[in-house]
Structure 1
Amino acid sequence: MHADTPSAATRRADVDHLRVVALTLLIVYHILLIYTGREFWRVSSVHHGYWADYLLNVLTPWRMSLVFLIGGIAVRFMLSRPSFGAFVQERAARLLTAFVFAVVVLVPPQRFVRLDELGANAQQDYLSYMLHEAPFAVSYMGAHVPQFAHAWFLPYLFAYSVLIGVFWWGAPRAFAAVQRAISRVHVGVWIAATMLWFAFLETAGPQNPQGDHLFFTDFQAHLKFLPLFIFGVMIGKSEKFSGQLDAIKLPLWCAAGSLMLLSGGLEWLFLHNQLSALPWLIARGFYGATMLFGVLAFGHWALNRPTIASRYAADAILPIYLMHQPALIITADLIVSRAWPLPLEMAVLLSATTILPLAAYHLFVRHTPWLRFLFGLRPQLRAPTPTDPDADAPANDAGAPTDRKRPSFLAPWRRRA
């Protein structure tokens, strides 16, 4: 068996764990945004200040990068679908359904409860708001579209998945050649290249300063996340890559920790007008890349064992993530004006942001097929098996479907005999 081929038809438990970690960190990130001292978010606490920005600097350089890298690795295990159409249908059912549900149901309340603070008509009822304002919240390429808020990355993952699916089924030999070329390069080289690329993107300046994340104009996001997604697909089943990453994990963690401290120190100098932004942004790019691979190494080293808790969390995390921001904004709107002590305020926000979505998932979503579907889950809860299409199945040496008849792009829409 080739070194890049897994020896067992099992799921990658570390991928499930890291997916939970990635989305959990996004929840923490959004809580910290309430306290940022650099800019106004949806809600701002009276306790805001630079202290939150230093904590945000620990997460910002790599939090979304981890989501897309793990997304690419996960998609590599989904390419065992029998056809391109079946793969696209599955991705659309998971990602686009959850995106539409979030935009229509979960995002509008976040703005509605803040209308008084935004200078809008705070006297209107929710139905009037939904009919006349919520569907036209953002101007985009000459059209008005709803706000995407925290669900913005779901269509990105879908588009990237379709792109890699076209590559897999449409050009299997080219896919295999790219995968072999990537496997020949040592992981240390990939880390160094990612450090330089992240530093370049940090210093090149934001091309989307409003942070709208509207797909066709979000060039900086595509430059950062699409290569990571493709890279994740290419190394998803590579034991060689995992072995090399494991071999350098200790120096990698030391480098990530050192660069984190350096980045934080340079940020302090920048925020206190003692240094230009350039050194800080370069250090932040270097830190983001090393931390990204460091987390990946940690997952493979420490989180590669499935547990009952990890299976529960893997199923629960997307619904919890999608529900967390409405819970956070509504709760924050109710309490921040009361100027409670910081520990009490943060405890209430953290509890509301985690316990309420968890309870809603466990009581209503987990065993309700139509709600599971709306939240991007399989309609029926079931444990993974070796025959599960998402399970890791032995692949050929190249990883692309070169040893079988290439499936037709029209196959999924043809009536089966």
Structure 2
Amino acid sequence: MTQALSQPQGTMIGRRHDLDAIRIGAFALLILYHVGMFYVPWDWHVNSARPQEWLQPLMWFTSPWRMTLLFIVSGSATRLLYEAYKRQGSGAAERLGGARLSRLGLPLLFGMMMIVPPQTYYQVMEMARTGTLLSGLSPEVATAGFWTKYMTASGQWCNPEECLITPTWNHLWFLAYVLLYGLMAAMVAGVAASRLGVWAQRLERVLRGPWLFILPIAFLAAIRIGLYPHFPVTHDVVRDLYTHALSLPAFAFGCLMVDAPRLTSQFVKHRYVALAVALVSYVAFVSYMTLYPEGTTPPEALRNLMRAVYAVDQWSFIVAILGFAAKHVTRTTPLMKYLGGGIFSFYIVHQTITVVVAANVEKMKLPLFAEMGIVLFITVGGSVLAYEIAKRIGVLGLLLGVSAPKRAVSQSVQTPVIPV
């Protein structure tokens, strides 16, 4: 049995290999998802001239739960880091806040200045090439002096629907949100540290038996029905009520979950039921999206019903993944150790590699699957190469999330290996 299943309430909270594995898997799926975004017929930074509708069900498979699961794992990582600081002495909450600023804030700023700009460059190029740039400028003129325009928000890169706002964080929005929630967690820990264990026990009592499914699904369905139609996802932090209503509770749940072994036992116990329910709801959701593709208007009652099905899919997959991981991932492996050290860096750089490679490889007019294979291979290989370079250069390692500015926790303390 895993440590989470066997540790008594209130004992030392230590390393969670199951959460390490989940984090690696979720980020890996995110990288695959972003490669797929170039090829599905959805609006993205750049788009293939050969959109593939058959990819959509594969993309829908992880869409409901992937980011929510990452917020849960990030909340758990934040709590584990806080507990490690607390075992070292006073000032744990302050040290947690400082660690979040350096660990997440510096890669975010560096990413916005140096990693993300090529994505915007190719997006502007595509807008100019396809004639959607309102200024009517050629790609060469529109991108002249690009980085200065990008950093000073003076590009005036607009299409009929919106203007590109720069500097931007694109896929790094997740870092901004986790940083914000991490600082909030540090403030809560500073004033209510003694209550964290009590809240974890209450969470265990509330989510017993069928309530493990009923209450979270009811909440997820309520915000999907009540907020999502009126507050679409923006990832701009300020005007993103639905995303916050979904992600902040998930982060808080993760903070408490690592101190709730009986809750983890519930995940393990119900993992097969959760997987079955998740697969059925996924099939229902895909059937609905196939019958009512974008541009059609389904009955509002059916739309709300499917928003509830979306919530069932979302939570059931999360329960299944948490349960299977807690049951079967009880130790680390050399591969897990390597990926655990690199996956955060992979996440930071991967989308820029995908955009740049896809936009250029497409010009070669290769067979579709050859092109897709090349884009995926270079995305993964380039991410690994960036990590290998970054971990050998101290400053770059800090900026790409490979290392902290200093050893935040002494070697004598058993610490989490989940950096986000």
Q: What is the rounded CA distance, in whole Å, between the counterparts of 1:218 and 1:285 in structure 2?
A: 19
1:281 aligns with 2:290: no
Q: What is the rounded CA distance, in whole Å, between the counterparts of 2:207 and 2:249 in structure 1?
A: 17
Q: 1:23 aligns with which of 22, 27, 32?
A: 27
CA distance change for structure 1 residues 113 and 368 in 2, over 3 Å: closer, same or farther? same
Q: Please report how far the alpha carbon of residue 239 of structure 1 lies from its aligned counterpart in structure 2 after TM superposition.
A: 1.6
1:269 aligns with 2:274: no
Name 1:411's counterpart in structure 2.
none
Q: 2:146 aligns with which of 126, 129, 137?
A: 129
Q: Please report how far the alpha carbon of residue 6 of structure 1 lies from its aligned counterpart in structure 2 after TM superposition.
A: 5.3
In the TM superposition, what are the counterparts of 1:299-310 in structure 2 within 5 Å? 299-310=325-336
Name 2:8's counterpart in structure 1.
3
Q: Please report how far the alpha carbon of residue 182 of structure 1 lies from its aligned counterpart in structure 2 after TM superposition.
A: 1.0
Letter in 2 for 1:285: A
Q: What is the rounded CA distance, in whole Å, between the counterparts of 1:97 and 1:269 in structure 2?
A: 45
Name 1:332's counterpart in structure 2.
358
Name 2:385's counterpart in structure 1.
359
1:374 aligns with 2:377: no
Q: Please report how far the alpha carbon of residue 224 of structure 1 lies from its aligned counterpart in structure 2 after TM superposition.
A: 0.2
**Equivalent pair of 2:391/2:403 in contact (CA under 8 Å):** no
1:44 aligns with 2:47: yes
Letter in 2 for 1:52: L
In the alignment, structure 1 segments of 5+ residues that lack a partner are: 393-417
Q: What is the rounded CA distance, in whole Å, between the counterparts of 2:22 and 2:199 in structure 1?
A: 25
Letter in 1 for 2:47: S
Identity of paired residues, percent?
21
Letter in 1 for 2:114: V
Farther-moved stretch of structure 1 (311-320 vs 260-269): 260-269
CA distance change for structure 1 residues 2 and 115 in 2, over 3 Å: closer, same or farther? closer
Cα deviation digits, residues 379-402 of structure 1 (max 9, x gap): 5899x987346349xxxxxxxxxx
CA distance change for structure 1 residues 253 and 43 in 2, over 3 Å: closer, same or farther? same
Q: What is the rounded CA distance, in whole Å, between the counterparts of 2:64 and 2:179 in structure 1?
A: 23
Letter in 1 for 2:196: F
**Equivalent pair of 1:73/1:235 in contact (CA under 8 Å):** yes
Letter in 2 for 1:103: M
SS at match of 2:235: coil
Q: What is the rounded CA distance, in whole Å, between the counterparts of 1:282 and 1:350 in structure 2?
A: 34
In the TM superposition, what are the counterparts of 1:221-260 in structure 2 within 5 Å? 221-260=243-282
CA distance change for structure 1 residues 147 and 339 in 2, over 3 Å: closer, same or farther? same
Q: What is the rounded CA distance, in whole Å, between the counterparts of 2:11 and 2:195 in structure 1?
A: 22
1:292 aligns with 2:318: yes
Q: Please report how far the alpha carbon of residue 91 of structure 1 lies from its aligned counterpart in structure 2 after TM superposition.
A: 0.9
Q: Please report how far the alpha carbon of residue 286 of structure 1 lies from its aligned counterpart in structure 2 after TM superposition.
A: 1.1
**Equivalent pair of 1:324/1:354 in contact (CA under 8 Å):** yes
Name 1:66's counterpart in structure 2.
69
Query: TM-score w.r.t. structure 1 length?
Result: 0.84
SS at match of 1:113: helix
Query: TM-score w.r.t. structure 2 length?
Result: 0.83
Q: Please report how far the alpha carbon of residue 237 of structure 1 lies from its aligned counterpart in structure 2 after TM superposition.
A: 2.6
Q: Please report how far the alpha carbon of residue 189 of structure 1 lies from its aligned counterpart in structure 2 after TM superposition.
A: 1.5
**Equivalent pair of 2:204/2:263 in contact (CA under 8 Å):** yes
Q: Please report how far the alpha carbon of residue 274 of structure 1 lies from its aligned counterpart in structure 2 after TM superposition.
A: 8.9
How many residue pairs align between the two structures? Answer: 385
Alignment RMSD (CA, Å): 2.9
CA distance change for structure 1 residues 174 and 40 in 2, over 3 Å: closer, same or farther? same
CA distance change for structure 1 residues 388 and 109 in 2, over 3 Å: closer, same or farther? farther
**Equivalent pair of 1:135/1:144 in contact (CA under 8 Å):** no
Give the ranges of 4+ consecutive aligned residues of structure 1 lying more than 6 Å apart after TM superposition. Answer: none
